[in-house]
């Protein structure tokens, strides 16, 4: 049985789009589900759009997301390297390979040299538009003899090579998501295969590479669906088996338009910088256009691999809902290893000025407790700087009228006095103190239940609900608790 082989083949033209990450993910999941191989190939034949450093950034994003490929392009010691038996995996290094097949197609009569200028092509297309026709190449150079074409080339005339499609022929193919599709060649252009700069177009290179690299399933965005007949015809005239086609629905925003920078974050690095967990983003992305057989929503990568199939990919575009992503990511945060979560949170806390290098070295458990205390309320890690603010501002203001009313109870002064007396007896707030303090205040004042706990919480945080009081007290420490009690007494209890 032929080994399943899939590839992700992005162009190094900038950041990795969230839709591109989903394409890579679906390729990866199916390859691993099938016991096959997953390859990273770089399609850089459009040199005008090449961005320096894009390959490195792309690989970093895939590695961060936990999408591990078996062969292709890697970064080792800061350098781009290639590993595998089917290289080169960077298209600009394969020009001699493409030229070999371009020459073969010309010799067979399945491709031809075209000398039409850009001005002529623009003029032809404008005329076709005016007549209500599909704008495409008019075949002006199809009838040129090979000898004449080669003579013009020898004289230095600029040219491209085009695919010679047969006239009025239905080309049929099957797509796993879209089903059986038929397109007539009259509705298709004689596609350029080799550009005037000597580089192949996507349409030429992708067919050659996928065949020579043994790719069994071509999984990509639905924007390439209309190009498949040209690719199918190329496979046919080259005498090659046609792979399985899977064209994925587009990732859309909430307005059902293509996700773009104009509407918010779309680059994987945007989500990385905000502190989304790779487990959370990958879990959610898998569900944007695919659904499991049951109603499960929270998945590990291993569970996704086991459950994934292309048969359950939707035909319609998947909606990227940031609120649903936040819910899924928040779930992963709440179940994440605390030490690892603390490690991820420290850079944000440090940048915000809440901690410094000395705190990291000497007060790690304090930082860890702070992270544990607020993680229930965060959707991505950078949000932690908003949530921990209550621990660093001793000028506590009640959050609303309800919280303010809790400070007006006649028992509140006695509670705060008892709290201060307890603090006088200790050097620092530790676990033993936090676990026993409320019972001791209850005995000293006779106040219990919510009449005791709610005003104490408001006095310490300004909020009537929130994290465990024991954790809050440990994080604040003796001096901050005293400062907060004094501020409340001065501003809300006098008069």
What is the tens place of the pLDDT at every residue in 379-424?
Answer: 999 999 999 999 999 998 898 899 899 999 999 999 999 999 999 9
Helices (H) then strands (E): counts for the chain: 20, 13
CATH code of the domain in which 474 resides: 1.10.10.350
Task: Tell me if 304 sits within 8 A of 29, measured CB to CB.
Answer: yes
* Element at 474 (helix H, strand E): helix 469-488
Q: What angle do CA 129, 133, 139 make, to 5 degrees?
A: 100
Assess whether 349 and 312 both reside in one domain. Answer: no
CB-facing half-sphere around the CA of 60: CA atoms within 13 A: 15
SS3 string, 330-377, reads HHHHHCCCHHHHHHHHHHHHHHCCCCCHHHHHHCHHHHHHHHHHHHHH
* CB 102 within 8 Å of CB 91: no
Q: Is 261 a catalytic residue?
A: yes
Which position among 68, 257, 261, 395 bears the catalytic label? 261
User: What 8-state DSSP symbol labels residue 417?
Assistant: H
Contact 229, 185 (CB under 8 A): yes
**In terms of domains, do 341 and 302 share one?**
no
Structure tokens belonging to residue 264: 């918010």
| Residue listed under structure tokens 């499991």 | 292
The predicted pLDDT at position 250 comes to: 92
Residue 327 within any structural domain of the chain: no
Q: Are residues 303 and 235 in the same domain?
A: no
Please say which residue of 208, 227, 248 terminates a domain. 248
Return left, alpha or beta for 427; rule: phi > 0 is left, psi -120 to 50 is alpha, else beta: alpha
Tokens of residue 216, six digits: 């069994």
On whether residue 473 sits in a domain, the answer given is: yes
Tell me the per-residue pLDDT of 47-105, one tens digit each, with 9 for 90 and over.
888 889 999 999 999 999 999 999 999 999 999 999 999 999 999 999 999 999 999 99
DSSP SS3 for 380: coil
In a domain, 485, yes or no: yes
Are residue 213 and residue 305 in the same domain, yes or no?
Answer: no
> In terms of domains, do 406 and 429 share one?
yes
d(Cα 320, Cα 324) in Å, to the nearest integer? 8
Q: Are 174 and 180 in contact (CB under 8 A)?
A: yes
Domain boundary among 201, 230, 248: 248
The DSSP secondary-structure symbol of 308 reads -
Other beta carbons within 10 angstroms of residue 302's beta carbon come to: 9
- Considering the domain boundaries, does residue 260 fall inside one? yes
Per the structure, the complete domain to which residue 136 belongs is given by 94-248
- Same domain? For 109 and 196 the reply is yes
Q: Are residues 140 and 47 in the same domain?
A: no
User: For tokens 């974050």, what's the residue?
Assistant: 265
Q: What is the pLDDT of residue 458?
A: 93
Residue 331 within any structural domain of the chain: no
User: What Cα–Cα distance (Å) separates residue 311 from each residue in 1, 28, 375, 460?
Assistant: 21, 16, 37, 55
- CATH number of the domain enclosing 33: 3.40.50.620
* pLDDT at 467 (0 to 100): 87
Q: Which of 248, 265, 296 is the last residue of a domain?
A: 248
Residues 6+ apart with CB under 8 A from 425: none
- Given this model, what pLDDT does residue 262 score? 65
- Spatial CA neighbour of 344 closest among 279, 257, 394: 279
* Residue 135: CB atoms within 10 Å: 14
Q: Is 329 domain-assigned?
A: no
Is 76:82 a contact under the CB 8 Å cutoff?
no
Spatial contact of 42 and 12, defined as CB atoms under 8 Å apart: yes
d(CA 348, CA 365): 17
What span, in angstroms and rounded, lies between the C-alpha atoms of 296 and 428?
46
Does the bond joining 470 to the residue before it have cis omega, within 30 degrees of 0? no
**Residue 328 included in any domain:** no
Under-50 pLDDT residues of the chain: none
CA 443 to CA 440: how far, in whole Å?
5
**Are 217 and 314 in the same domain?**
no
In this structure, the answer to whether residues 461 and 439 fall within a common structural domain is yes
Residues 440 and 354 in one domain: no
Q: Do 25 and 79 share a domain, yes or no?
A: yes
- DSSP reduced 3-state for 393: coil
Q: Return the pLDDT at 22.
A: 97
21 HSE (CA, 13 A, CB side)? 32
Query: 71-76 and 37-40: which strand pairing?
Result: parallel
Closest CA to 333 of 281, 385, 400, 294: 281
pTM above 0.85, yes or no: yes
CB 110 within 8 A of CB 163: yes
Q: Is residue 489 part of a domain?
A: yes
The number of distinct structural domains making up the chain is: 4
The H-assigned helical ranges of 215-263 are 228-238
pLDDT of 333: 98
- Domain check: are 428 and 299 in the same one? no
């Amino acid at each position: 049985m032929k080994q399943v082989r899939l590839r992700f083949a992005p162009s190094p033209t900038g950041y990795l789009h969230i839709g591109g990450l989903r394409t890579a993910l679906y390729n990866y999941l199916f390859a691993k589900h099938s016991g096959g191989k997953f390859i990273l190939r770089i399609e850089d034949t459009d040199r005008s759009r090449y961005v320096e450093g894009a390959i490195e950034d792309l690989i970093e994003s895939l590695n961060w997301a936990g999408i591990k490929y078996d062969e292709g392009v890697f970064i080792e010691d800061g350098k781009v390297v290639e590993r595998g038996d089917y290289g080169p995996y960077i298209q600009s290094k394969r020009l001699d390979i493409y030229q070999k097949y371009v020459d073969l197609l010309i010799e067979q009569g399945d491709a031809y040299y075209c000398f039409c200028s850009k001005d002529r092509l623009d003029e032809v297309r404008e005329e076709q538009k005016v007549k209500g026709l599909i704008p495409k190449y008019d075949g002006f150079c199809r009838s040129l003899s090979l000898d004449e074409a080669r003579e013009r080339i020898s004289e230095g005339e600029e040219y491209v090579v085009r695919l010679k499609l047969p006239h009025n022929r239905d080309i049929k193919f099957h797509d796993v998501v879209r089903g059986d599709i038929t397109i007539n060649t009259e509705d298709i252009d004689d596609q350029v295969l080799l550009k005037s700069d000597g580089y192949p177009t996507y349409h030429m290179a992708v067919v050659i590479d996928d065949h020579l690299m043994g790719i069994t399933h071509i999984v990509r965005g639905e924007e390439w669906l209309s190009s498949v007949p040209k690719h199918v015809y190329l496979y046919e005239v080259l005498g090659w088996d046609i792979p399985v086609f899977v064209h994925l629905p587009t990732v859309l925003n909430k307005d059902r338009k293509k996700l773009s920078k104009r509407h918010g974050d779309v680059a994987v690095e945007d989500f990385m910088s905000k502190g989304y967990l790779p487990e959370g983003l990958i879990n959610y992305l898998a569900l944007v256009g695919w659904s499991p057989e049951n109603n499960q929503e929270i998945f590990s990568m291993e569970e996704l691999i086991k459950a994934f199939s292309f048969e359950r990919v939707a035909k319609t575009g998947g909606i990227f809902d940031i609120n649903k992503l936040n819910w899924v990511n928040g779930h992963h945060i709440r179940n994440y290893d605390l030490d690892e979560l603390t490690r991820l949170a420290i850079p944000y806390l440090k940048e915000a000025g809440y901690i410094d290098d000395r705190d990291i070295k000497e007060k790690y458990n304090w930082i860890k407790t702070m992270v544990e205390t607020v993680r229930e309320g965060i959707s991505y890690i950078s949000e932690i700087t908003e949530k921990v603010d209550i621990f660093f501002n001793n000028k506590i203001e009640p959050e609303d009228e309800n919280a303010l009313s809790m400070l007006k109870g006649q028992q509140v002064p006695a509670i705060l006095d008892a709290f201060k007396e307890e603090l006088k007896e200790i050097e620092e707030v530790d676990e033993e103190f936090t676990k026993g303090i409320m019972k001791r205040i209850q005995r000293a004042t006779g106040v219990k239940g919510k009449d005791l706990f709610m005003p104490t919480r408001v006095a310490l945080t300004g909020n009537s609900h929130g994290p465990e009081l024991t954790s809050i007290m440990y994080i604040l420490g003796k001096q901050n608790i005293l400062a907060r009690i004094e501020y409340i007494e001065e501003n809300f209890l006098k008069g």
